[in-house]
């Protein structure tokens, strides 16, 4: 049942190219328009949306952070992303023109469910992004985008995360199509870039042995930091969460620009720091990241840089280079998250932990 893998998690990591492809299937009409099967909200309702609030927990929350960049960029609608467990308690400002997007792989997370119940009492429309057909959250929502990851058994979310990202991009593009904020050919071009992602993910997976060797070098490491910017920032947070969950070691993700506001004090000789480098096309972002990498390295960090093919500006400051295919910055999380999943899975394995059932965790958290 694990297809020859030692863990469900590892099997699920390797299923990601297929899961991403499946989540894209059937989303285009023959005329090239995007269609979302269970988008039960009318075009008029979507045109009336003047604010989006995304609520989720854990890894799903990080998918929501990526969605914010995508929706604001393509649709020019303000987006807030909020932890479901905090949402209700701050008396959020909601009305009928607010679209609340709940992201939940399981569809049963209690914090997220309570948050959407609250949103509906305020007359907001709720759209669920979910991997589990017929689960509670989509049943209590006005609309659904199902991800097609297939059952995710490992407690740590992997293919769930990547397919949530796909659903978020589709939602952003669909909103842009309905609101007319982007032209059809631009939307079509992004959809084509998305359709190329499964083969890019395959490419990243093919480098598994190098990542595994790197992971095994880190048995005994007590702390790991992750830095990213823009859509790479949630990837940094996700990389840190995977390591906490599976390897039980201290790991933290930061927005690279925040370093100098405090976290740089943590840097000491030999501390591993993963750096998710934005694609070279986004030079301002990329250059700022390079200087962040120089700064931590000058203070003794061991820099492990995820860099796109052909970008050699980082190499002088990278102790380890992990290559990523060239993709647009907004889509980069789909490839950049994968080496971090492989790293956490292998390090936890080397430490002798139960990767599929980490201590103290449950697959779906049905209590608030």
User: Using CB under 6 A, which of the segments 150-158, 194-202, 212-220, 265-273 binds ligand M6R?
Assistant: 150-158
Site membership for ligand M6R, residue 109 (CB under 6 A) = yes
Q: In the bound complex, what is the minimum distance in angstroms from residue 111's beta carbon to ligand M6R? A: 8
Q: Both tokens of residue 258? A: 């925040």
Size of the site for ligand M6R (CB under 6 A): 15
Among 100, 156, 289, 338, binds ligand M6R (CB under 6 A): 156
Site membership for ligand M6R, residue 136 (CB under 6 A) = no
Among 16, 23, 112, 136, binds ligand M6R (CB under 6 A): 112
Site membership for ligand M6R, residue 152 (CB under 6 A) = no
Q: What is the 3-state secondary structure of the chain?
A: CCCCCCCHHHHHHHCHHHHHHHHHCCCECCCCCECCCCCCCCHHHHHCCCEEEEEECHHHHHHHHHHHHHHHHHHCCCEEEEEHHHHHHHCCCCCCCEEEEEEECCCCCHHHHHHHHHHHHCCCEEEEEECCCCCHHHHCCCEEEECCCCCCCCCCCCHHHHHHHHHHHHHHHHHHHHHCCCCHHHHHHHHHHHHCHHHHHHHHHHCHHHHHHHHHHCCCCCEEEEEECCCHHHHHHHHHHHHHHHHCCEEEEEEHHHHHHCHHHHCCCCCEEEEECCCCCCHHHHHHHHHHHHHHHHCCCEEEEEEECCCCCCHHHCCEEEEECCCCHHHCHHHHHHHHHHHHHHHHHHCCCCCCCCCCCCCCCCCC
Q: In the bound complex, what is the minimum distance in angstroms from residue 116's beta carbon to ligand M6R? A: 11
Site membership for ligand M6R, residue 60 (CB under 6 A) = yes
Site membership for ligand M6R, residue 66 (CB under 6 A) = no
Q: In the bound complex, what is the minimum distance in angstroms from residue 210's beta carbon to ligand M6R? A: 23
Residue 189 — φ and ψ, nearest 5°? -65, -40
Site membership for ligand M6R, residue 57 (CB under 6 A) = yes
User: Using CB under 6 A, which of the segments 27-35, 100-108, 291-299, 323-331 binds ligand M6R?
Assistant: 100-108
Residues 232 to 251: which contact ligand M6R by CB under 6 A? Answer: 245
Q: Both tokens of residue 314? A: 């980082």
Among 122, 193, 223, 364, binds ligand M6R (CB under 6 A): 364
Tell me the residue nearest to ligand M6R as measured from the CB. 58
Q: Both tokens of residue 3? A: 């297809």
Q: In the bound complex, what is the minimum distance in angstroms from residue 60's beta carbon to ligand M6R? A: 4
Q: Which is nearer to ligand M6R, 57 or 214 (CB)?
A: 57
CB 340 within 8 A of CB 235: yes
User: Using CB under 6 A, which of the segments 104-112, 201-209, 210-218, 270-278 binds ligand M6R?
Assistant: 104-112
Site membership for ligand M6R, residue 341 (CB under 6 A) = no
Site membership for ligand M6R, residue 337 (CB under 6 A) = no
Site string for ligand M6R, 248-267 (x = CB under 6 A): --------------------
Q: Which of 125, 75, 121 is nearest to 100 (CA)?
A: 125
Is-catalytic flag, 2?
no
Site membership for ligand M6R, residue 16 (CB under 6 A) = no
Residues that bind ligand M6R (CB under 6 A): 57-60, 104-106, 109, 112, 155-157, 245, 364-365
Looking at the annotation, which residues are catalytic? Answer: 363
């Amino acid at each position: 049942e694990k297809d020859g893998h030692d863990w469900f998690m590892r099997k699920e990591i390797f299923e990601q190219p297929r899961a991403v492809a499946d989540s894209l299937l059937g989303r285009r009409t023959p005329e090239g328009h995007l269609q979302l099967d269970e988008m039960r909200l009318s075009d008029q309702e979507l045109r009336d949306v003047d604010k989006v609030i995304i609520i989720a927990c854990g890894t799903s929350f990080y998918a929501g952070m990526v969605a914010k960049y995508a929706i604001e960029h393509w649709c020019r609608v303000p987006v807030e992303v909020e932890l479901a467990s905090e949402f209700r308690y701050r008396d959020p400002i909601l009305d009928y023109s607010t679209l609340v997007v709940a992201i939940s792989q399981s569809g049963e997370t209690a914090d997220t469910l309570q948050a959407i119940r609250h949103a509906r009492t305020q007359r907001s429309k709720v759209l669920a992004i979910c991997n589990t057909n017929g689960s509670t959250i989509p049943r209590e929502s006005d609309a659904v985008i199902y991800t097609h990851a297939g059952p995710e058994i490992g407690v740590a979310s992997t293919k769930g995360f990547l397919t949530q990202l796909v659903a978020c991009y589709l939602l952003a593009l669909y909103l842009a199509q309905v609101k007319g904020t982007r032209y059809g050919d631009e939307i079509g071009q992004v959809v084509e870039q998305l359709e190329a992602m499964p083969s890019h993910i395959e490419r990243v997976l093919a480098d598994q042995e190098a990542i595994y060797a790197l992971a095994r070098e880190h048995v005994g490491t007590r702390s790991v930091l992750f830095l990213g910017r823009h859509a790479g920032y949630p990837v940094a947070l996700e990389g840190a969460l995977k390591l906490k969950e599976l390897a039980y070691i201290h790991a933290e993700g930061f927005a690279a620009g925040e370093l100098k506001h405090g976290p740089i004090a943590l840097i000491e000789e030999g501390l591993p720091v993963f750096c998710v480098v934005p694609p070279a096309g986004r030079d301002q972002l990329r250059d700022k990241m390079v200087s962040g990498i120089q700064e931590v390295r000058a203070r003794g960090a061991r820099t492990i840089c995820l860099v796109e093919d052909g970008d050699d500006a980082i190499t002088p400051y990278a102790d380890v280079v992990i290559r990523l295919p060239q993709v647009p910055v907004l889509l980069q999380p789909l490839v950049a998250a994968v080496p971090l999943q492989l790293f956490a899975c292998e390090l936890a394995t080397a430490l002798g932990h139960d990767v599929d059932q980490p201590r103290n965790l449950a697959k779906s958290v049905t209590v608030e």
